[in-house]
């Protein structure tokens, strides 16, 4: 199994290109199930999760062609995926696949909307929390799908099609908003989704669905109105830049000091996180190409943060901020309000010399003068990358095991950081 070796202490300077967003790419790929015509997605990131979802969709009959690169192309330029679900050959998503990636549960809505039936494995537990799917199922039931569960599978049936309804989510959920939105675009009549997630990735999906012929309004707000249409058609859509990758590299620069341009980044997608970095003493400035992040000499100031749905501070940047605060001059607090078990990085950061205590959903981080390299491992993607950030500033060598977590969501991380001066390499084995 591969690992990443980092020798800490180098400042980061230069340019890091930001890839297309994983969490937009996945629902966008799933949306290809809604039409028999070709959906072309540009700026697709080269990630293990994207590849796996391609395989999962292939199982349903989706043909996927990945555009080749031309000589002279920027090696970081996103890929072009053409997905065509002309014939859906199987409406079952088996346990072996869904258990490997929760986002594949989102095939449920599109399949039942287009095919009138779907059988999708329940995703099961996960390293960051229990992550139930009850709100996905309630939403689809409200649209008239008959839902039952059997042998660990959800069976959804709507042989006469779905019907629009008013659905109010009791709490904000990105996944259920994706799933129900994709179903509602082909339902008869109007659907209103109240308290819908307004994460930029939901907006990206809705914009793409509209390009495919859907009629969705209220994009970017908590209320989505969908006027159902009979069928969707092909379209071309470019995936928005990854705000979590952007924030992660911004925190890496904040950690090491230095001056880096995040090319292709969009500040409006992560303003709350950039504001927190500003409070921590990091300089953030817009550039023609993206965002410049710099910390030259100033110390890292402590912050108090709570994670929240968009536009609040994203849970997917919580671990990275915690790594940064390990070196702040003073005591910070971070409350995790989205997932109940998303502190698996804490004990690993402590192995690197961090001083962190946990009390329920609140972490108290007392900044230390030095972190010290050690072998570490993490149980999820964002926890793993928080260890990379800590390793970049730790004395000596940090080896991060279980790199497959990183490969799920960070394209060529060792190259991107290495080109800016980090001493980082992948050890294969």
Binding residues for ligand EPZ (CB under 6 A):
23, 26, 102-103, 129, 131-136, 171, 173-176, 315-316, 338-339, 381-382, 409
Exposure of 216 in the CB half-sphere (CA atoms within 13 A): 32
C-beta closer to ligand EPZ: residue 145 or 300: 145
Q: What is the DSSP letter of 184?
A: H
Q: Tell me how far, at minimum, the Cβ of 338 lies from ligand EPZ, in Å.
A: 5
- 59's tokens: 């199982």
Handedness of CA 304, 126, 44, 19 (dihedral sign): positive
Q: Tell me how far, at minimum, the Cβ of 208 lies from ligand EPZ, in Å.
A: 15
C-beta closer to ligand EPZ: residue 382 or 412: 382
> Annotated catalytic, 126?
yes
How is the beta sheet containing 92-93 ordered, strand by strand?
92-93, 117-121, 153-157, 146-150
SS3 117: strand
Residue pointed to by tokens 């599978």: 153
Q: Where are the beta strands (DSSP E) in 138-257?
A: 146-150, 153-157, 166-168, 190-194, 215-217, 224-227, 235-238
Indicate which residue of 126, 198, 208, 420 is catalytic: 126
Are β-strands 92-93 and 117-121 bridged in parallel, bridged antiparallel, or unpaired? parallel
C-beta closer to ligand EPZ: residue 383 or 422: 383
C-beta closer to ligand EPZ: residue 10 or 121: 121
Is there a contact between 139 and 163 (Cβ–Cβ < 8 Å)?
no
C-beta closer to ligand EPZ: residue 81 or 339: 339
Q: Tell me how far, at minimum, the Cβ of 342 lies from ligand EPZ, in Å.
A: 8
Is there a contact between 414 and 16 (Cβ–Cβ < 8 Å)?
no
Handedness of CA 369, 372, 373, 377 (dihedral sign): negative
Are β-strands 235-238 and 38-44 bridged in parallel, bridged antiparallel, or unpaired? parallel
What is the CB neighbour count within 10 angstroms for residue 415?
Answer: 14
C-beta closer to ligand EPZ: residue 182 or 371: 182
Q: Tell me how far, at minimum, the Cβ of 160 lies from ligand EPZ, in Å.
A: 25
CA separation for the pair 300, 288 (Å, rounded): 27
C-beta closer to ligand EPZ: residue 103 or 291: 103
The conformational region for residue 426 under phi > 0 = left, psi -120 to 50 = alpha, else beta, is beta
Residue pointed to by tokens 């909307």: 113
CA angle, 307 as apex, 312 and 351 as ends, to 5°? Answer: 140
Q: Tell me how far, at minimum, the Cβ of 336 lies from ligand EPZ, in Å.
A: 10
Q: Which residue is at the shortest CB distance from ligand EPZ?
A: 175
Residue pointed to by tokens 């020798």: 7
C-beta closer to ligand EPZ: residue 33 or 371: 33
Q: Tell me how far, at minimum, the Cβ of 70 lies from ligand EPZ, in Å.
A: 30
Give the H or E element holding residue 235: strand 235-238
Q: Tell me how far, at minimum, the Cβ of 380 lies from ligand EPZ, in Å.
A: 7
- 169's tokens: 């989510």
Q: Tell me how far, at minimum, the Cβ of 26 lies from ligand EPZ, in Å.
A: 5
Picking from 375, 367, 369, 378, the residue whose alpha carbon sits closest to that of residue 403 is: 378
Cβ within 8 Å of residue 122, ≥6 positions away:
98, 105, 133, 149, 152, 153, 154
Picking from 301, 305, 365, the residue whose alpha carbon sits closest to that of residue 335 is: 305
For the annotated catalytic residues, the residue numbers are 126
């Amino acid at each position: 199994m591969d690992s990443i070796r980092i020798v800490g202490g180098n400042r980061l300077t230069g340019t890091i290109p930001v890839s297309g967003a994983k969490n937009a790419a996945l629902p966008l790929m799933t949306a290809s199930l809604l039409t028999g015509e070709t959906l072309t997605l540009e700026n697709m990131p080269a990630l293990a999760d994207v590849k796996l979802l391609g395989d999962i969709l292939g199982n349903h009959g989706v043909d996927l062609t990945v555009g080749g690169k031309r000589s002279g192309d920027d090696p970081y330029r996103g890929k072009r995926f053409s997905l065509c679900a002309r014939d859906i050959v199987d409406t079952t998503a088996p346990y072996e696949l869904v258990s490997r990636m929760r986002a594949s549960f989102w095939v449920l809505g599109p399949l039942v909307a287009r095919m009138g039936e779907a059988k999708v494995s329940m995703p099961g537990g996960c390293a960051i929390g229990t992550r139930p799917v009850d709100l996905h199922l309630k939403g689809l039931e409200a649209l008239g799908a008959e839902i039952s569960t059997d042998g660990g599978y959800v069976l959804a049936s709507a042989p006469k099609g779905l019907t629009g309804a008013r659905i109010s989510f009791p709490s904000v959920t990105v996944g259920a908003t994706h799933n129900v939105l994709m179903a509602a675009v082909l339902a008869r009549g109007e659907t209103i989704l109240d308290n819908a997630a307004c994460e930029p990735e939901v907006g990206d999906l809705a914009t793409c669905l509209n390009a495919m012929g859907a009629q969705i309004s209220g994009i970017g707000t908590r209320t989505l109105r969908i006027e159902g249409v009979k069928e969707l058609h092909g379209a071309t859509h470019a995936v928005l830049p990854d705000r979590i990758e952007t924030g992660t590299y911004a925190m890496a620069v904040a950690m090491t000091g230095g001056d880096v341009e995040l090319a292709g980044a969009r500040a409006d997608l992560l303003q709350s996180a950039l504001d927190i970095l500003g409070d921590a003493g990091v300089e953030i400035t817009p550039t023609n190409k993206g965002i410049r992040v710099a910390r030259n000499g100033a110390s890292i100031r402590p912050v108090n943060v709570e994670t929240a749905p968009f536009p609040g501070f994203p849970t997917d940047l919580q671990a990275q901020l915690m790594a940064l605060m390990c070196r702040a001059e003073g005591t910070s607090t971070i409350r995790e309000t989205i997932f109940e078990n998303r502190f698996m990085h804490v004990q690993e950061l402590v192995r690197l010399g961090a001083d962190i205590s946990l009390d329920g959903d609140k972490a108290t981080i007392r900044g230390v003068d030095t972190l010290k390299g050690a072998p570490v491992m993490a149980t999820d993607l964002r926890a793993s990358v928080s260890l990379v950030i800590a390793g970049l500033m730790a004395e000596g060598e940090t080896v991060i095991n279980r790199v497959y977590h990183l490969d799920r969501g960070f394209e060529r991380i060792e190259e991107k950081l290495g080109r800016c001066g980090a001493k980082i390499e992948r050890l294969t084995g």
